[in-house]
Structure 1
Amino acid sequence: MGEKRKYKARKPGGGRKKLKPEYDAGKNLKRQMESAVALYDSEMSLQAIADALVLNPIKVRKLLITAGVYESDVAEKVQHTFNNYRETQSYKDAILSTASALKLSKASVTSYLPYEKGVYFPSTTSTEKISVAAERQRRYRAVRKLRTEPTEEHLWDAVLVYSGVRFKTYSGLPFSYEVRKGRNGEYTKELWIDRRENSKSLAWSSVLLALGNVKEVGAVVDRPKALGDIRGVTYIYGMFYRLGLINVPDEVKEKMKHPKNHKK
């Protein structure tokens, strides 16, 4: 027998080299997702998007769900049911339970869920992490829901997605607001109005008082005080007009007109 070779310690990071070191599944998924969202934002159908990207329409839908811009009654029901089971079950078991409860195939359930691996952008994801098209879709959906059903929940959803966006007051002064998180990581029910050097807080209770005084969605409200003698109503008036809850007199519209670039 030959001489036994001396053990050689393995260098950190050693091992088989990747065949495609430049390949990144997460980046590829994100790239596909952004392309799908951009086309979806231009109101193309799932089939048309699939043809343009050379993908299956089901994969396109899954990409849009992962990006947080696609919605349907079926998708919402599947995701809600799955999330309930997922609290106590593994991912695989939760899929099987959802399929059984909704009488769907496993493949159908999976097709309505976001990608498990890669980048997932639920509706609460920070806007800095999503594309401009996805952000625009998110705002469109939030405002549509609010105008259809002006509840506190829908108003809060709209307020969150419009954080940092420029508004204008009755007199045409620009402002924006920020919604901050507390120590527990949850959003506080308080809006911080940014007006030049000063920041003022606007209580959520004040916003709800004004919401209660909106008699008809889209109706003309002559002036801020018509929404009530509420602290910060000047800002609430500008927000409600931008969100479509109220309309304003014609002579005021030009002053409250917003530029195409909504960000500061």
Structure 2
Amino acid sequence: MGEKRPYKARNPGGGRKKRKPEYDAGKKLKEQLDAAVVLYNSEMSLQAIADALSLNPIKARKLLITAGVYGSDTAKLVRQTFNTFRETQDYSTAVTSTMVALQLSRPSVTSYLPYEKGVYFPEEAEAENISAGAERQRHYRAVVALRKDPCEVNLWKCVVAFRGYKFKTMSSSPFTYTLKKGRGDEFTKELWIDHREGSKSLALSSVMLAYHNIGKIGEVVDRPKALGDIRGVSYIYGMFYRFGLIDMPEKVKEKMTK
């Protein structure tokens, strides 16, 4: 056996760097709480508050409960029951005990309890508003859904999920894209590519055209032009690889990972 190396303590704060060092869950929660309270104090209905914050009413109510401004007989009963159990039980066990005592489901109980760590953000939330972990989960769910059921609907959901993600073209040139919202607060069918040459638009119809030119999901596509003579296909090629729709030759992947 070789000679043992002396133990070297890790430096405080050492290790893997955070992907989003600027993300502050507490700050984001406070911003949501402040916005909800302002709307609540203006005598808006729970549904109207939820619509304004792009949340469902249950999540909006939970925000107001967290802020301490919302009250109802049910909310008061759940909180009192939970707090009694919480004196001798951990959080999860106290929730279960409250469920049994009040004959309520787990979602019903937790919906009347304040947030303790972070805050829910909808799928439409911008990347800077969610943690790196939540963003990875968003990407994973979108890719799995697309691979399980390849269709235009799931491809569009993947496009929405990956806005702000750093892709690479075949030549290893990095790029991202954003989506803008139009009427009805819905995303328009146009991707705005942010590349070193500046910003340019890419129509969703071009993305769908390239998608239908794929012979078999997951097959190796040698070059972008193999997807068709389509404007912006070099970007689509990098996106499709990340979405799991196509594979690349090994030499190309090696170049992209350098």
TM over 0.5: yes
Partner of 1:156: 156
CA distance in 1, matches of 2:93, 2:191: 40
The question of whether the paired residues in 1 share the 8 Å contact of 2:127 and 2:163 is answered with: no
How much has 1:218 moved relative to structure 2? 1.2
Structure 2 counterparts to residues 1-264 of structure 1, below 5 A: 26=66, 54-56=90-92, 107-108=104-105, 110-111=107-108, 119-257=119-257
The question of whether the paired residues in 2 share the 8 Å contact of 1:168 and 1:174 is answered with: yes
Q: Kindly tell me: are residues 112 and 151 of structure 1, through their superposed partners in 2, closer, same or farther at Cα, counting changes over 3 Å?
A: farther
The question of whether the paired residues in 1 share the 8 Å contact of 2:170 and 2:238 is answered with: yes
How much has 1:193 moved relative to structure 2? 0.6
Q: SS state of the match for residue 231, structure 1? A: coil
Identity of aligned residues (%): 54
The question of whether the paired residues in 2 share the 8 Å contact of 1:193 and 1:200 is answered with: yes
Q: SS state of the match for residue 217, structure 2? A: coil
How much has 1:207 moved relative to structure 2? 0.4
Amino acid of the structure 2 residue aligned with 1:247: D
TM-score by length of 2: 0.57
Any unmatched runs of 5+ in structure 2?
1-63, 69-88, 97-101
The question of whether the paired residues in 2 share the 8 Å contact of 1:59 and 1:111 is answered with: no
Amino acid of the structure 1 residue aligned with 2:66: G
The question of whether the paired residues in 2 share the 8 Å contact of 1:58 and 1:111 is answered with: no
Q: Kindly tell me: are residues 115 and 207 of structure 1, through their superposed partners in 2, closer, same or farther at Cα, counting changes over 3 Å?
A: farther
Amino acid of the structure 1 residue aligned with 2:244: G
The question of whether the paired residues in 1 share the 8 Å contact of 2:206 and 2:231 is answered with: yes
CA RMSD, 1 decimal: 3.2
Q: SS state of the match for residue 177, structure 1? A: strand
Any unmatched runs of 5+ in structure 1?
1-23, 29-52, 61-104, 259-264
